[in-house]
Amino acid sequence: MDIYQEIVRLMSNGQSAALATIVQSSGSCPQKDGAKLLVRDDGSFIGTLGGGSVEAQLVQTALETIGTETPRTVSLVLNEQHGGHVCGGRMQVFIEPLNPPLHLVIVGAGHVGRALANAARLHGWRITVIDDRETFANPANVAAADQCILADFANCLTQVAINARTCMLIATRSHEHDFTVAAAALRTPAGFIGMIGSKRKKAVLTQRLTAAGFGREIAARIISPAGLAIGAVTPEEIAVSVIAQIIEHRRNRDQQNPSHSGDRAGGG
């Protein structure tokens, strides 16, 4: 299988990978400069940099770079700890994460949904918009969307490929629809799930989700009110606040940021 063709396929399918390339070698090495290893986000790979424990170590490091989205250079001295190599060869390997554009799924193609799609387009994100009304779920209404899906809210997420690089914003026209979509969203691996609304709406939603069998920790994945607290009022301002929060969330996934506290834009 050609590595570059596989990269194109993975990016088209919204899957992440990392490409490891020997950029410098000396002594006796199992592979020479330019040899490549492509590691998919599920740990499978194609190509080889020599096999054995060296390759296993590089695969693990490649998976870490996918998660951090930060390239790394690894220097290795080949000895008996690396698959029995005792020749003392050296390799310097550059590992580059290959992550597709973020996939933003907007459920609800009203004023906020449309404004959010327009704002996300400026960042090069892939945009899917879902609504159960034909006059809303179409390119004439949301020109910035890559895909418009007309579907009942109860089953709409089954029509979308969702992974950890998927961000979701729930902005339907009713609390009941919001609950339906939120419950479905919690069953996906989406990296960000936001919902337009108020603190009270979030409290009611959490009660309903826990009553439906979701643990409080799981229900807490729903970020609501969605958007950073910038005093946003108009749909366009709310869209900016949500985009900023998604960026912040991805940059600081392992940290608790003080700006997450307090009211956020949106009402419901």
SS (H, E, C) the chain: CCHHHHHHHHHHCCCCEEEEEEEEEECCCCCCCCCEEEEECCCCEEECCCCHHHHHHHHHHHHHHHHHCCCEEEEEECCCCCCCCCCCCEEEEEEEEECCCCEEEEECCCHHHHHHHHHHHCCCCEEEEEECCCCCCCCCCCCCCCEEEECCCCCHHHHCCCCCCEEEEECCCCHHHHHHHHHHHCCCCCCEEEECCCHHHHHHHHHHHHHCCCCHHHHCCEECCCCCCCCCCCHHHHHHHHHHHHHHHHHCCCCCCHHHCCCCCCCC
Looking at residue 264, its pLDDT comes to 40
* Four-way CATH pick for 103-260: 3.90.1150.10, 3.40.50.720, 1.10.40.50, 3.40.50.360: 3.40.50.720
Looking at residue 253, its pLDDT comes to 65
Per domain, the residue ranges of the chain are 3-98, 103-260
Looking at residue 88, its pLDDT comes to 67
- Residue written as token pair 């790979």: 45
Query: Where does residue 147 rank: exposed (0-12), middle (13-18), buried (19+ CB within 10 A)?
Result: middle
Half-sphere exposure (Cβ direction) of 118: Cα atoms closer than 13 Å: 17
pTM over 0.95: no
Looking at residue 194, its pLDDT comes to 97
Which amino acid is located at 132 in the chain? D
Along the 268 residues of the chain, how does pLDDT read in single tens digits? 799 999 999 998 888 999 999 999 888 888 889 999 999 999 999 999 888 888 899 999 999 999 888 899 999 887 755 454 455 688 899 999 999 999 999 999 999 999 999 999 999 999 999 999 999 999 999 999 999 999 999 999 999 999 888 999 999 999 999 999 999 999 999 999 999 999 999 999 999 999 999 999 999 999 999 999 999 999 999 999 999 999 999 887 644 433 333 344 443 3
Tokens standing for residue 20: 């490891």
Looking at residue 87, its pLDDT comes to 57
C-beta of residue 167 within 8 angstroms of C-beta of residue 106: no
List the 222-223 sheet strands across, edge first: 147-150, 126-131, 103-107, 166-170, 192-195, 222-223
| Torsion (CA) 50, 51, 57, 60 in degrees, nearest 10 | 110
Looking at residue 51, its pLDDT comes to 80
Residues 189, 19: Cα–Cα separation, whole Å: 24
